[in-house]
Amino acid sequence: MNRSNMQDNEIIEKNKTYWNDHADLWFGTTALPEYGVRFPTEEDLHLFGDVRGKRMLEICCGSGHSLVYNAKRGAGELWGVDLSQKQLDNAAKLLSENNCTAKLLCARMEDELDVPKEYFDFVYSIYGIGWTTDLQGTFDKIASYLKKDGIFIFSWHHTLNYCVGWTCDERKDIFEDGKLFMTKSYYDETYFTMPVHDSEIVLSNRKISTYVNALAKAGFAIEQLVEECDRASQEAGEDADPKTRKAKMLPISFCIKARKL
């Protein structure tokens, strides 16, 4: 094992420990019909369309809320993969409570999954794909699970969200003259550690072009790239919270729909 793989494994294990320890705190957070923070929903975008009878695989299925959402929309067969067994335990309980079924696998998305090849109509990931330590390898594997013309949909934090901050009055928690400032380079894709709750996670802030080029190399054609904020944020006034006001000026999240060629 070379040093790069050792580092990747350390990152994966660190993030896995975080999710096993804190899964309950994120129960139901950012799941379909939601795609992201202050972002249009599936009811607005209709990226999936009619899923009745479709075979669907979710990468980073978390607490199972997106699986339940698609089950209730008539999906024919559902599979869910997650790094965290605690997340899958929560998902299994939620699915049972809603009389829904799905095949759940505890596995790393970077690895070859024990799922059928060229089998699925949809592979999707809601705020999960950015955790991968091997973006190209993950996209290549996802392409292998999809039928020809199968659809891959994923959402994640927008790169600019981690690169731009705002000056605000600490007493009032509002923008100071609406000023934004760069906190790091947009081009910096090195891994960084972020404190969350009583722990920390490790992420890479990849450029949008990195996702686009990796999709193309994996044999996907992009059908839609969405960066807009939701209607509520667009219409929010000057008394809105800082994050909503920030969303009016730059993307907080993004979503891509791509088709396997």
> Per DSSP, what are the bridge partners of residue 202?
193
Task: Please tell me the predicted confidence (pLDDT) of residue 176.
Answer: 52
* Residue 7's CATH number: 3.40.50.150
Domain count, the chain: 1
Give the pLDDT confidence of 20-47 residue by residue, as tens digits: 998 888 888 899 999 998 999 999 999 9
Low-confidence ranges of the chain (pLDDT < 50): 1-3, 169-175
pTM, to two decimals: 0.92
Task: Please tell me the predicted confidence (pLDDT) of residue 1.
Answer: 37
Task: Please tell me the predicted confidence (pLDDT) of residue 101.
Answer: 97
In-domain check, residue 247: yes
Provide the domain limits for residue 75: 3-158+189-260
Give the pLDDT confidence of 152-189 residue by residue, as tens digits: 999 999 999 989 887 654 444 444 556 788 889 999 99
In angstroms, the CA 228 to CA 152 distance is 19
Q: Which H helix or E strand runs over 195?
A: strand 191-196
In-domain check, residue 252: yes
> Per DSSP, what are the bridge partners of residue 233?
none
In-domain check, residue 176: no
In angstroms, the CA 118 to CA 135 distance is 20
